[in-house]
Amino acid sequence: MIYIKLILVALMWGGTFIATRMAAQVFGSFTGATFRYVFALVFLIPMVLLKEKNPFKINRKQFFQLLILGLTGIFGYSYFFFNGLRLVEASHGALIVSLNPVLVMIMTSIKDKKKIDTIKIIGMILSIFGLMIVISRGNLNDLLSGFTWGDAFMLGCPICWAMYTFYAGDALKTTTPLQASTWATLLGFCLLAICAPFENFPTQVNPMVWVAIAYLGICGTVLGFVWYYEGISKIGAVKTSVFNNLIPIFAMMLSVLILGERIETYALIGSVLVIGGVFIINRF
């Protein structure tokens, strides 16, 4: 059952690229993310109150563990995600973010002081090479000149998410997935809400943008985060992050169907290398 949930998480998170691409054209990064987590907390807080005993009773150590999750997975990720998808297409951004499992592997090997196997190094090289193709738009000679602010922001996403996944393992030793998700969202929301007033608020907002924001809050956060935490708790951080390989595939499909984006040949080649490299890393 947990594997089905993680596939659905990948599908829902693939959809967040399309929803954020729509919302980022209207809202600033902090404002858009703040509204996203307003929708999320409306559902998360009643859920945690109904299902958990003393959900808001945590000690000092747990608070700082959950604060790190809120800072990395909510505040930091949202900042890079909104700014990146304001500048690059959803399908392009999804391929960059798919580097996440590689970073999780590197951080885990450093923590456990384990040498990375040769086959995993090959997978890592394939993934990074695929990422270089995506960033250079198919022309490696233009890798540096073709590197945009949008690419830089999107690279911040897998860095934040790898840290989030890495530290979630420690937090889940003493908290439940729902409790950890609620606390991380609440703390991240507070940080976002502090920054949001410094951004300009749009005079008019298309109703479909509000639908996109609601989707981000309910599907992308409430269901996605709780099930993702559940996966980390049951099968571990590295195995759970494997399902992130499906996110760029779903994102590319949805970007074509909903946004009418065109998938270039370089993107297909890059996606095969990135996803293939990550598959090798986790398979062996």
Where are the domains positioned within the chain? 2-283
* pLDDT given at position 157: 92
3-state helix, strand, coil in the chain (%, to 5): 80, 0, 20
What does the pLDDT read at residue 160? 92
DSSP letter string over 45-102?
A: HHHHHHHSSSTT---HHHHHHHHHHIIIIIIIHHHHHHHHHHHS-HHHHHHHHTTHHH
Could you tell me the end-to-end alpha-carbon distance of the chain, in angstroms, rounded to an integer? Answer: 24
pLDDT per residue over 174-223, tens digit each?
888 888 888 999 999 999 999 999 998 888 889 999 999 999 999 988 88
* pLDDT one-digit tens code per residue, 142-182: 666 778 899 899 999 989 988 888 888 888 888 888 888 88
Q: CA–CA distance from 130 to each of 104, 133, 177, 229, 277 (Å)?
A: 18, 5, 33, 28, 9
Could you list the pLDDT tens digit for every one of the 284 residues in the chain? 788 888 899 899 889 999 999 999 999 999 999 999 999 999 889 988 988 888 888 888 999 999 999 999 999 999 999 999 999 888 888 888 877 777 877 877 777 777 777 888 888 888 888 878 887 877 777 666 778 899 899 999 989 988 888 888 888 888 888 888 889 999 999 999 999 999 988 888 899 999 999 999 999 888 887 888 788 878 887 677 777 777 888 888 888 888 888 888 888 888 888 878 877 776 65
Q: Identify the pLDDT of residue 94.
A: 84
